[in-house]
Chain A
């Protein structure tokens, strides 16, 4: 069974640009969550999507947005990139929403801002 797939694995951008990251969940999983991971802050929750609707949102500025498609694949967009956006962006999928379904992670997209 294929795991969570994130593309691209690595990305280099410059300040002011925008970026779109992609996540394909495990087959059958309908919930997709996004996290930002940095050495100092650990895993920071960005947002969760279920059935194409954003269900939960973390404390990130509006430059961070996402969406989910009918096949449960999800994209995350960051506009007007800043140096501080350099991080590993992780996607996790689970069967459903709520507290009884463990999340399974992809290997992330490492974004570097120059």
Chain B
């Protein structure tokens, strides 16, 4: 079946550093989505990408839809404490498939 490989599984960074995470698949998707989940809450949509090659920003967040339509990355610039959480990618075609998440920790 379709699977998404999201990496890294977890990251420990210093406040102010930039963050990069990505998702790859053997399948082609029509849409890539990035979500963030805080403890005790549901995932919140950060960025939606609809076209191969598309680069979209949302504040300090930037995501790109890979030109092969099989991958996507998310960058966070100048991380701050509230960026802590779990980030999920999702590829959407006939069905939506989620990555297993990247847990972001920020060291004081």
Contact = CB atoms under 8 A, between A and B. Distances in A.
B45 interface: yes
Interface of A: 4, 6, 33, 35, 42-43, 45, 56, 90, 92, 98-100, 102-108
B60 to A, nearest CB: 20
B92 A99 contact: yes
Interface in B17-57: 29-31, 33, 35, 40-45, 48, 50
A53 to B, nearest CB: 16
Interface residues of B, number: 24
A45 to B, nearest CB: 7
Contacts of A90: 42-43
Interface of B: 29-31, 33, 35, 40-45, 48, 50, 88, 90, 92-96, 98-101
Interface of A is mostly: strand
Given A102-B45, A102-B48, A105-B42, A42 B98 contact: yes
Which of B30, B95, B96 has the most A CB atoms < 10 Å from its CB?
B96
Interface of B is mostly: loop
A107 B96 contact: no
Query: Which 6 pairs, one residue from A and one from B, show the smallest C-beta to C-beta distance?
Result: A105-B42, A99-B30, A42-B100, A43-B98, A107-B42, A99-B92
A2 to B, nearest CB: 14
A92 B42 CA distance: 9
B92 to A, nearest CB: 5
B96 A45 contact: yes
A102 B42 contact: no
A105 B29 contact: no
Contacts of B101: 42
B98 A102 contact: no
Contacts of B90: 103
Given A42-B101, A43-B88, A104 B45 contact: yes
